[in-house]
Every structure is written in C-alpha cells, then in structure tokens.
Amino acid sequence: MLKKTFLLCLALCAVTAFAQKNVVDEVVWVVGDAPILLSDIEETRISQEMNGEAVSNPYCTIPEQLAIQKLFIHQAEIDSVEVSEGDVARFADQRINYFIQNFGSRENVEAMSHKTIAQLREEFKEQARNDQLMNGVKQSLIRSTKVTPAEVREYYKHVPEDSIPYIPTMVEVQIITSQPKISREEVERVEGQLRDYAQRVNSGESSFSTLALLYSQDPGSARRGGELGFMGKGELVDEFANVAFALNDTKKVSKIVHSEFGYHIIQLIEKRGDKINCRHILLKPEVEESEITRCLGRLDSIAGDIRDGKFTFDAAAFRLSDDKDTRNNNGLLVNQQGYNITSRFEMKDLPQDVAKMVSTMQVGEVSRAFRMVSDKTGQEVCAIVKLKNRIDGHRATMADDYQTLMEEVLFVRNKEKIDEWIKQKIKTTHVIVNPDWRNCDFQYEGWVK
C-alpha cells in the first residue's frame, strides 16, 4: 500500500519535481517537428511503474515509444481522424476520480500535484486525445485484415504444440437467489440514523464528509468523505440517480433513498453538463439470523423439488429467483469481459462463494442452499446453483475453439501490418536523436539517420 501511494505521488509530481530541484529539462528526441522532453520520459516511466508496466532499460524503450506515438499522431492529422470529446472527458473524469479515491480528497490531489484539478483534467484529456488519434490510425491500417479457416489451419501447422493457446477449464452456472427480508423495526432504525445525520448536516453541527467517513458502509467512497466522483445518470441505479440529479443546493441533504444497495442520503457537490459529483452515506440494514435460516430452508425445498422432477431449474429461476439480472435468462450467469459477453466462466471469474460450491459438483447437479455476498450490492443473499456445463482445460482445436485460434492469427497479421507501417514511416520522417541517447538497441531500425 505504501509503495502504491508513493508511486501515485510520483505520477502526479514528476514534472513539478524537475522544477523544484532545479533540474534543467532537455530535448532528447525530435520527431518531425515534435520534441520529446526528458520530463516526458520521466512522467511516462513513473506512470508505467504505477500501472505495473515497468520496462527494462526505460531510457531507451520509452523514448522510442513516445517517438512512435508522434508518428501516429502526425498521421492522424493528415487523415483527419476525429476524436470523441465525450470519451475524452469521461477518461479525464475517471482519472481524477481515481486519484481522489487514493488520496482522499480533491484538496489532497491538488496539494500533492501542485496543480489544480482543472489543470490535471486538461492533461488527462490531452492523453486521451492522443490515445484516440493513435487508435484511429491503427484501425484504418488493420480494418481490411481478414483471415480464412484455411489460413488459420496453415498458420498452426507451423506452431509447436506447446505454443497453441491453452483454453482453461470453463463452466456454465445457473443460480436462484432468495433475498432475506428486513424487519420493519430494522428499517426504521436505519432510517432514524440517516435522519439524524441529515439533521446534523443541515444544522451545521457536522459536515457530511465527516459523517460519511465515520459511518458510511460504502467502503469505496467512505474514506473519501462519501464522494463518488463525476458520474452520468446511467452509471447510477435509478432510485439514487433520480434523487441525486434533482438536487440543486450544495448545503442541503436529500431525502432518504432506498436502493438495492441499502439506504442512502445524498449531498450535491457539483454539476457539470450531464454529469454530477455528490457525496452519500450508505447504511445497510442487518439481517436477522432467523430470516437467513428461513431463506436457506426455502431454497433447499426448491432444490429438492427440482431433483424430484417436479419442475426444472429453468422454470424455478424464472418464477422464484430474486436475482433480477439472471431470472429472465433462466438463472444463467453471464460473464461480461469488455465487449465480449458469454455464459462461460473460468473458475477464478465466478463469485467466490459460487466457485467454492461449483468446484465439487457434477454437471447437471443442483447444490444445497448456501449464503453468499452479492458482488454487485455487497449484501448477503441465499442461493442454490446448478452446474449446467463444464468444458475441461485443453489445447485449442479448430473444431471446438476456432474463434480463439482465428483471433490469435488475426492479432499476428494486424501486428505485422502495423510494424511494417512504422518501419516505412521512420524512413520518411525527419528524426533527430540527442547523441547522449543513441546508445540503445531500438526495436525499429532507422531512428538514427
């Protein structure tokens, strides 16, 4: 944790450190008419270390990386590549929120970086624009790349067996959950606490951020005084968003909001366009053990009826499950990795309690009822699962894993196209490398003219 905090500080303070120590910045490369500064290299090096991407011999590798970036950005200008300012702004807000989360407040971030939040946001926006410009050029280079099944077969004829992609064991799992009911007395207790916090803030007795730090049960935001960072309406659950976006007075506290996460009160910090930054205090009602026992018994009864053939797991999930994300899909858990959506999971990607249960089950088996903590809400629920399918780990084959093999070949072909473009671009671009920075084994030839 100390190392991470230290690297975060370095990432924010890299350029400032040059000025404070009276180190003279210098131009180490020039690509076309774009200079690469020593400070650019230092900032990139520290950022890579922070993200676990540190490279060997950074003072050779990083200048070349930055030079390649300059080549792409110059081509983007020629090609009139368009940039989505909405995506740029979202990236900048995410980075600002990331640093606020790690340093505790906007004020701490500004103090550590010696820059205002506005200045940092502009730097992050510039980084996002450059990334989009590079990606735009790369997409234009590889857009026409296609591979046929024959090409895939031919490619893997010459690949050693131990280099063929290994497909880890995958499982498909169905789930039925039962949400324990909260007693009216417990709800009233929680609402009473939140009303007390709101009264203390509205009267000036306490600050919202202090109360959030002390009492909020949202661990992600509590240490930041309840601050969530800038979010669009679609990024928040409806009940919360409807109240938060209706707030206008930054000194007042909202009414109590009930969502699937628990009970909240909210305070507006700032609105910017279609985004909002607010603080909240979350309290989660406690579930009585007798209610957990009731839910487990109900699910064990359902599991028994499924095993006895009275109805199917699919039908029970659709009619009886409290999990709104899966019940319309017959209880089938869905694994979303970026833009890819599949029903197959590696064991490590399943919720921990589900993986523990599934690890000892046979295909088609329905589990006993068990307790688990929802990855989404952090609330305790009861569940039963069915192991729908298991695909044992194996080397990829054309018959069963063509998509995986095709994507691997496509990746190789695209890399070859991009590498060839870079080589040709170096030949036609004016490049100057400072003599003190030439003693390197560069990835591409021709930088030193």
177 and 205 co-located in one domain: no
pLDDT of res. 280 = 97
274 and 297 co-located in one domain: no
Q: Is residue 179 within 8 Å of residue 185, measured between CB atoms?
A: no
Q: What is the mean pLDDT of residues 105-119?
A: 85
175 and 293 co-located in one domain: yes
178 and 323 co-located in one domain: yes
Q: Is the pLDDT of residue 2 over 50?
A: no
Q: What is the mean pLDDT of residues 217-241?
A: 89
**C-beta neighbour count of 151 within 10 angstroms:** 14
CATH number of the domain enclosing 106: 1.10.4030.10
pLDDT of res. 53 = 76
139 and 19 co-located in one domain: yes
What gap in Å lies between CA 432 and CA 438, rounded to an integer? Answer: 10
* Average pLDDT for the chain: 89
pLDDT of res. 339 = 62
Q: Point out the domain boundary residue: 268, 283, 298.
A: 283
Q: Kindly give the interhelix angle for 85-103 and 117-142, rounded to the nearest 10 degrees.
A: 130
Residue 24 — very low, low, confident or very high, per pLDDT cuts 50/70/90?
Answer: low
Q: Is the model more confident about 9 or about 277?
A: 277
pLDDT for 288-300, tens place per residue?
999 999 999 999 9
| CA 241 to chain centroid | 21
Tokens coding 445: 């030839």
pLDDT of res. 50 = 63
Q: Is the pLDDT of residue 21 over 50?
A: no
191 and 95 co-located in one domain: no
Residue 61 — very low, low, confident or very high, per pLDDT cuts 50/70/90?
Answer: very high
Q: Is the pLDDT of residue 272 over 70?
A: yes
Is 138 contained in some domain? yes
19 and 136 co-located in one domain: yes
117 and 198 co-located in one domain: no
Percent of the chain with pLDDT over 90: 69
pLDDT of res. 7 = 42
- Rg of the Cα atoms in the chain: 27
300 and 416 co-located in one domain: no
Residue 16 — very low, low, confident or very high, per pLDDT cuts 50/70/90?
Answer: very low
228 and 210 co-located in one domain: yes
pLDDT of res. 15 = 43
250 and 318 co-located in one domain: no
Q: What is the mean pLDDT of residues 23-34?
A: 87
pLDDT for 384-413, tens place per residue?
999 999 999 999 999 988 988 999 999 999
Is 93 contained in some domain? yes
Counted domains in the chain: 3
262 and 319 co-located in one domain: no
pLDDT of res. 387 = 98
- Measured CA to CA in angstroms, residue 10 lies from 14, 16, 91, 106, 403 at distances of 5, 10, 20, 17, 42
pLDDT of res. 354 = 95
Is 134 contained in some domain? yes
Q: Is the pLDDT of residue 12 over 60?
A: no
CATH number of the domain enclosing 245: 3.10.50.40
Q: Is the model more confident about 43 or about 196?
A: 196
- The residue written with tokens 């600050």 in the block is 207
Tokens coding 11: 């990432």
Residue 136 — very low, low, confident or very high, per pLDDT cuts 50/70/90?
Answer: very high
pLDDT for 349-397, tens place per residue?
999 999 999 999 999 999 999 999 887 778 889 999 999 999 999 999 9
Domain limits for position 67: 2-146+412-437
Tokens coding 52: 């676990």
pTM above 0.75, yes or no: no
